[in-house]
Amino acid sequence: MIYEIRDLHLSLPDMTRKPLLGATPRIEILKGLSFDVPKGAVLGIVGGSGSGKSTLGRAMLRLLEPTGGQIKFKGIDITHMNENQLRGMRQQFQMIFQDPMSSLNPRRRVGGIIAGPLRLHGVENLPAKVNEALDMVGLPTTFARRYPHELSGGQRQRVGIARAIALRPDFILADEIVSGLDVSSQAQVLNLLADLVRELGLSLAFISHDLSVIRRLCSRVLILHKGEIVEEGETTELFESPKAAYTKELLAAIPLPDPYQKWDV
Amino acid sequence: MRDARGNIRRPIGARLWLSGGWLTLLALAAICAPLIAPKDPLMQDLFLGRMPPFWMEGAEPGYLLGTDSLGRDVLSRILYGARLALVVALVAGTLTCVAGATLGLVSGFYRGWPDRIISRFVDIWMAFPPVLFAILLIAVLGPGLLSIIIAIVIIDWTRFARVIRAEAMSQGAMDYVASAQVAGRTRFGTMLAEILPNVLPTIVALLTLEMGIAVIVEAILSFVNLSISTDSPTWGGMISEGRTSVHQAWWVLVFPLITLFLTVLSFSQLGEGLKDRFDPVLR
Ligand SMILES: Nc1ncnc2c1ncn2[C@@H]1O[C@H](COP(=O)(O)OP(=O)(O)O)[C@@H](O)[C@H]1O
Ligand SMILES: [Mg+2]
């Protein structure tokens, strides 16, 4: 198993209700989630805006500390590890961010952006590794000298992917990575990601609110609603016979040009 | 596959040329003052008092910008005055910048208790009226170059702290910071390697602005006779003396005033120009 997650709770201080004096009340965002990510799985995490998808992702990468429950990564309990303990492991779980404009430091060239994490983990022969990573995401190696603002949205997201895979992690979390792109670059980036996952034998958690994308990419799906898992299962099974009322609602909202609903009824 | 966006070289721009040019000239004048000043700036000659600049009738050869009421050469005094002005600008500006920007960066990036302590400190500090504070301080420390510099640092570090704190805070919310954490960079490393380069253009702009302010503060303090001894020429001191005889000898007031104005203007324009140059997004 890559991830074993049991009864995961996470609450954050609610800044919208901060009182003038005294402690800020906390708002519970994840309310007891349990699921596994098997090795080599592509897990889709679906849910409406504000359902806690990004918070779950950040907890899995331990950018946030859970307030209850347990997260095991490859059998190791990382729930309450501190930053020093995590540092040695971080190479193994990586993330691709939603907005590449914000996740790529505007003052670094593409080469430096990809080389940074490699250098931190003591990888040698950096320029060759950077070129290799650019090559794998289908960008010319001359792009190493460019700044992020000189690239298109799709190219930027490829740099984000290159940065994540360059470390050769076991697991990658992709948080709404195509929601900011136009339709044709969306398809290209998704195909690239699918190919890389297969080639490198990665496990992937793919966060999205777009069910048609999830169906194409993911073997398993997890439906999140208001911080709780309402349904989890094999993608084909879940799409054909959804059990939870919320899942049915979501599926009904998919636009019609869709092989499953077209002939049904 | 190359597109032109990355290759456009923007011209350095008139404002950077002019301000940089003036300040270079001034720096040269300050360094070479003993070589290029036509007269001893302290030499008095009561027979040559209030001589007009060279183009006016009654000008004395060798005194290009005229003399003051004690017969001292205005040009030489301006050149020597540049020394003190630039030393104060460089030293006070840099110290203020380092102190304020460091505190602002830590407070804005680390948030939490360091931020609470530093921000509270800034608020209390800013409750004091600055000029009163400076005069009080110099009254205690006694006039002198060091006192001026300390006064400037103590009064103005809050400007850096506040602006850099806000900037570090907004940069800290960007995903590239989360991405550095995902990569395993330490908080401190992230602050230096990711945040600092992004706030550097603002720091540079504030620094040059502060250098301009330091020149003004030094002039004001000389004006009220709180700067270093009145013997060594300062622009503020010259302006103060020139004011009393402006109707008989306007040049004693006007030339140092123009120099001061151009210098302060150049510092602020240099900052703006450099900020644009530094920004790869704008470049
Ligand atoms: N730092 C925070 N402090 C308080 N509430 C937050 C914070 N971040 C997110 N939330 C809240 O948590 C909920 C889940 O957010 P998020 O995980 O970003 O959802 P999603 O990614 O599914 O849109 C939202 O209601 C959001 O308002
Ligand atoms: Mg989200």
Counting Cβ atoms within 10 Å, is residue A12 exposed (0-12), middle (13-18) or buried (19+)? middle
CB crowding A141-152: b at 16 or more within 10 Å, else e: eebbebbbebbe
pLDDT for residue B167 is more than 60: yes
What is the C-alpha separation between A164 and A174, in angstroms, rounded?
Answer: 10
What's the pLDDT tens digit per position in A15-28? Answer: 787 777 778 889 99
Q: Which of residues 160-189 of A touch B (CB under 8 A)?
A: 163, 167
User: Positive or negative CA dihedral for B264, B268, B271, B273?
Assistant: negative
**Distance separating the N- and C-terminal Cα atoms of chain A:** 39
Q: Average pLDDT over chain B, rounded to whole?
A: 86
Q: ipTM score of the complex? A: 0.91
Query: How would residue A165 be classed by pLDDT, with cut points 50, 70 and 90?
Result: very high
| Predicted local distance difference test score (pLDDT) of residue B249 | 84
Whether residue B152 is contained in a domain is answered as yes
Confidence band (pLDDT; 50, 70, 90) for A208? very high
- pLDDT at position B2: 42
Q: Which of A159, A169, A162 is nearest to A91 (CA)?
A: A169
Calculate ∠ Cα A225-A230-A233, nearest 5°.
125
CATH number at residue B243: 1.10.3720.10
Q: Domain total for chain B?
A: 1
Is B225 a domain residue? yes
Query: Using CB atoms, which residue from A94, A146, A147 is nearest to B182?
Result: A94
Residue B9 domain-assigned (yes or no): no
Across the interface, whether the CB atoms of A95 and B179 are under 8 A apart is answered: yes
**Which residue of chain A is at minimal alpha-carbon distance from B183?**
A117
CATH class (in words) of the domain with range A40-64+82-252: alpha beta
**Cβ–Cβ of A107/B175 closer than 8 Å?**
no
**Residue A221 per-residue DSSP state:** E
Give helix then strand counts, H and E, for chain B. 10, 0
**pLDDT tens profile A71-97:** 999 999 999 999 999 999 999 999 999
> How close is the Cα of A181 to the center of ligand 1, in Å?
22
Contact between B148 and B221 (Cβ < 8 Å): yes
Residue B84 domain flag: yes
Q: Is residue B175 part of a domain?
A: yes
| pLDDT grade for A104, boundaries at 50, 70 and 90 | very high
Is the separation of the CB atoms in A215 and A250 below 8 Å?
no
- Give A261's pLDDT tier (boundaries 50, 70, 90): very low
Residue of A nearest to B196 (CA): A107
Question: pLDDT at residue A263 above 80?
Answer: no
The residue ranges of every structural domain in chain A are 40-64+82-252
**What residues make up the domain containing B232?**
73-278
Cα B264 to Cα B23: distance, rounded to the nearest angstrom: 10
Residue B79, pLDDT > 50, answer yes
Share of chain B above pLDDT 90, in %: 47
Cβ atoms of B63 and B50 within 8 Å: the answer is: no
Question: To the nearest 10°, the Cα dihedral for B186, B187, B189, B190?
Answer: 110
Domain contains B33? no
Q: Which pLDDT score, from 0 to 100, does residue A262 have?
A: 42
The pTM of this model reads 0.86
Q: How confident is the prediction for chain A on average, in pLDDT?
A: 92
Q: Which of B174, B182, B186 to mutate to test the interface with A (most CBs of A within 10 A)?
A: B182
* Beta-sheet strand order (sheet of A26-37): A26-37, A3-13, A68-73, A76-77
CA B136 to ligand 1 center in whole angstroms: 51
Q: Closest-lying ligand to the alpha carbon of A24? A: 1
Tell me the backbone φ, ψ of residue A140, rounded to 5 degrees: -65, 145
Regarding the beta carbon of A53 and ligand 1, being less than 6 Å apart is answered yes
Ligand 1: atom nearest CA of A58 is: 17
| pLDDT class of B60 with cuts at 50, 70, 90 | confident
Predicted local confidence at residue B5, as pLDDT: 45
Count other C-beta atoms under 10 Å from residue B62's C-beta. Answer: 12
- Which one of B1, B170, B174, B176 would you mutate to disrupt binding with A, by most A Cβ within 10 Å of its Cβ? B176
Note whether residue B6 is domain-resident.
no
* For residue B283, pLDDT beyond 60: no
CB contact residues (below 8 A), chain A span 189-218, against chain B: none
Q: What's the CA gap between A47 and A54, in Å, rounded?
A: 10
- Using a CB-CB distance cutoff of 8 angstroms, which residues of chain A are in contact with residue B175? 97-99, 102-103
Q: HSE, CB side, 13 Å, CA atoms: give it for residue B54.
A: 7
| Closest Cβ–Cβ partner in A116, A142, A145 for B183 | A116
pLDDT digits (tens, 9 = 90+) for A123-149: 999 999 999 999 999 999 999 999 999
Strand partners, A96: A174
Is B176 in contact with A121 (Cβ distance < 8 A)? Answer: no
